Each structure stands twice: as C-alpha cells, then as structure tokens.
C-alpha cells in the first residue's frame, strides 16, 4: 500500500522520537531486515545470499525478546522503500512511497515499531537520500523521480559517470556511487520530496532515530534541511578514516548530530584484529577529543554490513571480546552488528550478510552471554554520564575508567602471555575493593594508592567497586 494513502488510514500513536541526548544511553543492535528472521519461523538456510532470503518485519517482532535478552534497547533496521530486484539490503529504492513488500506491509511495519516500543526499545530507520536503484539512464521505473532533471548529469564525471577520486569533493557529490543514479538535491522537487518523505515517515511509523547512508555524497546544506525536518537523532555514514574530514560533518561544523565512528573502527580493527600497538588508541582518542564536537553521539562499532566481519580477519574470540568490551564501554553510542552473538565470520559483502535464523536464535552461546554481561554493567554504571579517562597505555595493554568502572584490555590474544600492570593513576581511595564484573571471584584492593591488574589468557577485565 502507498505510504501516502496509508497515512490517512491510521491514527498515529504518540511518537517517542528520541532526541540526541536521549540516545546517549542506548545500545543499538544493527540488523538487516531480510536476514534476521522469517515470518514462517523457518531455520533453513538461504540458497542465494545475493538475493532476498525471506526475513521480514514480523520475523523481527517474533524475536525481539532475543535482542532484548542481550540488553539492547534499540534496533537499526534496513531502508523500507520498494527496491530494484535483488535489493534485499534496501539501498536500491525504486518507489519512495511503497513499502518493500518482501519485508511485509505498512501494517507489519507499524506493528514492529509498536512492539519494540512496548518493550522499551527504540527503532532506528536506515535512510537513503543520495541515489536510487541501478536503472542506468532509464528513469521511467523510478517513482517519483522519473525524469532526467531529477539527477546529476555526467558531464563533469569520469568515464562511466562513477566517482573515481574520493579526494575530489565536487566529484563525490555530483557523480555516481558504483553506477547508481545520483539524485540532484538542488532540484526543488527532489529536495522538497525527500524532506517531506522523512517527515511523513517518522510521523506515520514513530521511528526514534535515523541512520543516514552515504552522507559525503550529498551537499551539507541539504542534510541540514533533512535532519532538521526529521527532528530525531541522526547518525550519518561518512565511510572515511580521516578525522578532520569526518568531523566536518558533525554539528555545529556540519549537519549531523552523530556520525558512525569510522576512524575509531579502523583503529580498533588494527589494535584488536591485527594486534598492532595499543598506543594507537591513545593517539586516536586524543585526536577525537580535539576533532569532534560531541563524542557521546558518535556511533561506535566493530562490525557492520559494509566490511568483512572481525572474526573473518582474526578468528580469536578472546581478541574479539576485548574489542567488543571497548566498543560497549568507551565513549559513544555502541552499535553491535547482528550475528556477533553467534560468532559469525563472513567476509566482504555479501558474505557478511548471513541469515541469522539458521542458529535457531540460540541464547547459550559464549558471545551472546558475554554481550549480555557487558551491556548489563554498561547500564548499571550508566557510563554515558561519565568522561572516559585513560589510565594506562602501552603496546599490549590499554585501560580507562568511566566513573567508577575500570576497563582493562589487551591484544595478546588467547595464547598470549599474562599482562600485569601497576595502576597508579585512578579514581579510587585506598582500601577500595575492586572486583571483576566478568568473574566476581577476581578482586584486588587499592593499597598505597595503587593496584595491580593481571590479564590472563588474553581476556579483558572490568573492575568495579565491590558492594
């Protein structure tokens, strides 16, 4: 059913509409709607992961408790418009106003948001304002952008019309991403249509936040309009490791309240995945502090749908746990990619977009329970209210506090030697007993203004004052 027609048929319940400040405390579970759960409850595999596999809005509803069981209180779902054939991911829109029927109906989507809200979970919608599906130059099948005047022409672009120089900002904003027709947001119809669509969509379904795709490919003034009209927290994708460039898109320099923390992603992959010096975290955090205007609104992640999974790069689950603990407890809004809890290890797209239902949504896996444990301590100590303070850094040991919580990580891996360090810079008074949240029999006492931390078998430790 057309979204515009559907609006007149529903009475919209009050929208939770999370503000940026309210999102600081959330922990996000990113899923691909087509890959999370089927309506029919099937646990059979998918024969062709380059096409639709059968995941649906109703499938998500049926397994929200699985997500909530780990402690997540927000989900990020795929773009919802009707897509070009094969667009299971949602990024090849062909009809802005029709819901992708492979995922379900408008009512199914309403039911999903309502069910999530009833569990205290927020819903973040992935949105696309840069391009449409791969139709070449025949726009007749795109609605409502069915005229060549709605797109940038190829006159200033390289052969093939696609971006080839990512350091050439005019080219990045004008030319095509991987051949996808590039919308011209300076066209009054394109501009007003995209802006009114996000307003209507949030009002109709009650989404609490948005993740914005391909942010640098569109001029900043348009995003300022779009984000302002949306009226909810927006986290933008700037797929780049350069801090000044990425930071230029965060308010007040740029239009986004938050950004996906790509520079830190690359650093964490280097430190935990490739076991390079942990001093990189020190320098990266210093650069973040001077570069970004609000670290608490950055979306911190170790995996996503556009990069090979961590466990594909390094299969050591102990290293993965260090990286996950850092992701969940460091400054920013943590985003955990679906399948992390099941130890998925897919390579580059589409291999990192596995179906989850073949796991039967097991809750007894080591990583499911690890995430549950760390998210619990994140919430108990409300780390988002406390500054991240580095307490120790060297090549194979990195520690910080957030309030009374102390996290120690290492990159030596499961076969590495014990890492013992004296901690002399900390916030605790003498005689304070600190116990490891991951093993409550492991405690230390602050004596003469210091305590020793020993990481064994490469595992991180989360020390908190004993009650």
Tell me, yes or no, if 108 is annotated catalytic. Answer: no
Catalytic annotation present for 237? yes
Q: Where are the alpha helices (DSSP H) in 33-182?
A: 33-36, 57-62, 64-68, 106-118, 169-174
Task: Give the separation between CA 264 and CA 383, rounded to whole angstroms.
Answer: 19
Q: In whole angstroms, what is the distance from residue 457 CA to residue 459 CA?
A: 6
Active-site residue (options: 82, 182, 184, 213): 213
CA distance 128 to 218: 11
Counted residue by residue, the chain has a size of 467
Per DSSP, helices labelled H in 317-365 are: 317-329
Location of structure tokens 């949504």: 361
Cβ-proximal residues to 27 (8 Å cutoff; 6+ apart), any chain = 71, 72, 73, 74, 328, 333, 334, 336, 375, 378, 379
Which stretches of 177-316 are DSSP H helices? 188-205, 220-230, 243-247, 262-268, 279-291, 310-313
Q: Exactly one of 237, 303, 316, 354 is catalytic; which is it?
A: 237
Cα(444)–Cα(177) distance, integer angstroms: 54
CA distance 332 to 193: 32
Are the CB atoms for 2 and 196 separated by under 8 Å?
A: no
Could you tell me if residue 86 is left (phi over 0), alpha (psi between -120 and 50 degrees) or otherwise beta?
left
- Count of C-beta atoms within a 10 Å radius of residue 412: 21
Which residues are catalytically annotated?
A: 213, 237
């Amino acid at each position: 059913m057309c979204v515009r027609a559907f609006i007149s048929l529903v009475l919209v319940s009050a929208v939770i509409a999370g503000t940026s400040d309210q999102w600081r405390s959330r922990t996000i579970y990113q899923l691909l709607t087509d890959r999370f759960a089927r309506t029919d409850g099937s646990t059979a595999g998918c024969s062709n992961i380059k096409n639709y596999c059968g995941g649906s809005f109703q499938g998500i509803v049926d397994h929200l408790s699985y997500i909530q069981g780990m402690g997540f209180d927000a989900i990020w779902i795929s773009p919802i418009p009707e897509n070009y054939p094969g667009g299971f991911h949602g990024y090849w829109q062909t009809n802005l106003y029709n819901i992708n029927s492979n995922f379900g109906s408008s009512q199914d989507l309403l039911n999903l948001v309502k069910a999530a809200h009833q569990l205290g979970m927020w819903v973040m919608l992935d949105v696309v304002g840069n391009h449409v599906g791969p139709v070449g130059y025949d726009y007749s099948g795109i609605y409502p952008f069915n005229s060549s005047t709605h797109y940038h022409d190829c006159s200033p672009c390289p052969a093939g019309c696609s971006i080839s120089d990512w350091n050439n900002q005019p080219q990045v904003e004008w030319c095509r991403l991987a051949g996808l027709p590039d919308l011209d947001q300076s066209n009054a119809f394109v501009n007003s249509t995209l802006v009114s669509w996000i307003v209507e969509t949030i009002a109709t379904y009650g989404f609490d936040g948005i993740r914005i795709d391909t942010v640098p490919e569109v001029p900043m003034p348009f995003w300022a309009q779009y984000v302002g009209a949306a009226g909810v927290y927006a986290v933008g994708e700037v797929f780049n490791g350069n801090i000044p460039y990425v930071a230029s898109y965060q308010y007040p320099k740029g239009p986004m309240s938050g950004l996906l923390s790509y520079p830190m992603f690359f650093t964490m992959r280097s430190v935990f995945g490739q076991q390079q010096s942990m001093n990189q975290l020190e320098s990266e955090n210093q650069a973040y502090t001077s570069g970004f205007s609000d670290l608490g609104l950055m979306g911190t992640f170790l995996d996503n749908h556009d990069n090979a999974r961590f466990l594909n790069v390094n299969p050591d689950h102990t290293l993965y746990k260090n990286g996950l603990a850092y992701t969940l407890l460091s400054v920013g809004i943590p985003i955990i990619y679906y399948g992390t809890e099941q130890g998925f290890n897919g390579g580059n797209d589409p291999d990192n977009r596995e179906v989850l239902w073949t796991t039967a949504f097991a809750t007894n896996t080591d990583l499911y329970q690890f995430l549950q444990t760390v998210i619990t301590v994140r919430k108990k100590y409300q780390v988002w209210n406390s500054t991240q303070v580095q307490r120790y850094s060297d090549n194979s040991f990195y520690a910080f506090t957030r309030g009374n919580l102390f996290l120690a990580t290492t990159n030596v891996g499961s076969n590495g030697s014990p890492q013992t360090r004296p901690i002399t810079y900390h916030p605790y008074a003498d005689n304070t007993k600190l116990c490891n949240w991951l093993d409550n029999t492991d405690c230390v006492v602050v004596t003469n203004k210091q305590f020793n931390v020993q990481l064994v078998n490469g595992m991180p430790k989360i020390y908190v004052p004993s009650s």
